[in-house]
């Protein structure tokens, strides 16, 4: 029998990222397509010890329902790290859920949504379900071009979605002066910025630029992730939002999954509460820096004439361009 499904469901397409991951599960495949963290970066021993402490300290609490906003000690950890009020922080089931919640709260059919060209496919998929009108913002080798934001282009826009740090898929990092100009123009034009920052900690040199959030806390929704600095299988992210939007995002999450799993939140907090990230993140940066150098050398040796690529300062992506006809 063919069941009737909603018009919205009829528009669903498979995630390109999920399809890539299916292929990577085959043992003979080495995929350069998906942003999979290296298993060598997972702090297995520290997390194993954290699991034991969670069960020793309060197993019933770890296995019980909890607040939608998230485990308070973990929220406080995030709030301190990003210098924000804890009441703006909500733990999400991966930062991908934050994209879905933002779409539910902010997008009506036909709503203009500003996106970089190109942009993260997973975000476009999450937004597309709610039928926005995508408005492309041009980019160059430095990333998004703030001067492209005009009153005509941004009229009625619900938000501008951007990845300032080591963007997926280009690997570009938005320079400081462009960040400042972007925030300035967004303020003037009344455009909410949605800052997706899963790679911000992965600067190979350790040199970090200020977030858009730090420049305008009341005009930015910030998304972060533990997937790249702990382990993606934990499915832990967070969203920092202005108070009125935080409340609406919380309501949307209540309807979605009640709360992110208590058990994984407590494991993550037990793992990082005593300074593990300060010790662990430098090793991840070194690992990815070496892998990037190896890949750049391989491209130089093996790519034919006419193929070009960038040399990212961090993150997990190199943008390769092929000549026409190749």
Q: 45-272 in CATH: which number?
A: 3.40.640.10
pLDDT per position as a tens digit, 287-304? 999 999 999 999 999 999
Measured CA to CA, the distance from residue 193 to residue 182 in angstroms comes to 9
Measured CA to CA, the distance from residue 85 to residue 96 in angstroms comes to 23
Cα angle value 262/266/272 (rounded, 5°): 150
- The pTM of this model reads 0.93
Share of residues in the chain with pLDDT > 90 (%) = 88
* β-sheet bridge partners, residue 133: 112
CA-based nearest residue to 288, from 319, 312, 315: 315
Dihedral (CA of 316, 80, 86, 181) sign: negative
- 164-to-116, 211, 220, 322 alpha-carbon distances in Å: 10, 8, 13, 24
Measured CA to CA, the distance from residue 237 to residue 225 in angstroms comes to 4
CA-based nearest residue to 94, from 293, 245, 235: 235
pLDDT per position as a tens digit, 49-104? 999 999 999 999 999 999 999 999 999 999 999 999 999 999 999 999 999 999 99
Measured CA to CA, the distance from residue 99 to residue 92 in angstroms comes to 10
| Residue with the two structure tokens 């190109």 | 118
Q: What single DSSP character describes residue 37?
A: P
Measured CA to CA, the distance from residue 279 to residue 18 in angstroms comes to 31
Q: Taking the domains of the chain in order of start, what are their residue ranges? A: 45-272
pLDDT per position as a tens digit, 246-262? 999 999 999 999 999 99
pLDDT per position as a tens digit, 2-49? 888 888 777 777 666 666 667 667 777 777 777 889 999 999 999 999
- In terms of pLDDT, which residue wins out, 9 or 154? 154
Does position 154 have pLDDT exceeding 90, yes or no?
A: yes
* Both tokens assigned to 73: 């000690």
Q: Beta strands 159-162 and 112-116: pairing type?
A: parallel
């Amino acid at each position: 029998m063919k069941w009737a499904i909603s018009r919205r469901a009829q528009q669903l397409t498979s995630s390109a990222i999920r399809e890539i991951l299916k292929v990577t599960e085959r043992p003979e495949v080495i995929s350069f397509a998906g942003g999979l963290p290296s298993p060598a970066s997972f702090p297995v021993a520290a997390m194993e010890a954290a699991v034991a402490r969670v069960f020793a300290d309060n197993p019933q609490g770890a296995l019980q329902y909890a607040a939608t906003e998230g485990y308070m000690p973990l929220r406080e950890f995030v709030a301190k790290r990003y210098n924000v009020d804890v009441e703006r922080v909500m733990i999400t089931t991966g930062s991908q859920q934050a994209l879905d919640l933002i779409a539910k709260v902010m997008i009506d059919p036909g709503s203009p949504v500003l996106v970089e060209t190109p942009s993260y496919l997973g975000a476009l998929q999450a937004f597309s379900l709610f039928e926005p009108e995508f408005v492309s913002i041009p980019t160059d080798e430095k990333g998004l071009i703030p001067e492209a934001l005009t009153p005509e282009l941004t009229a009625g826009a619900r938000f501008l979605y951007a990845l300032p740090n080591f963007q997926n898929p280009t690997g570009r990092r938005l320079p400081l002066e462009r960040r400042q100009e972007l925030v300035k123009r967004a303020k003037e034009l009344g455009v909410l910025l949605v800052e997706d920052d899963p790679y911000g900690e992965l600067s190979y040199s350790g040199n970090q630029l200020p977030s858009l959030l730090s420049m305008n806390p009341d005009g930015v929704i910030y998304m972060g992730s533990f997937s790249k600095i702990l382990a993606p299988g934990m499915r832990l992210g967070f969203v920092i939002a202005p108070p009125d939007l935080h409340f609406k995002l919380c309501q949307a999450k209540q309807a979605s999954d009640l709360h992110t799993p208590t058990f994984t939140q407590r494991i993550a907090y037990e793992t990082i509460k005593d300074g593990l990230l300060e010790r662990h993140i430098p090793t991840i940066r070194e690992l990815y820096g070496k892998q990037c150098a190896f890949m750049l050398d391989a491209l130089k040796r093996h790519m034919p004439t006419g193929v070009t690529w960038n040399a990212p300062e961090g993150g997990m992506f190199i943008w390769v361009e092929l000549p026409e006809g190749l």
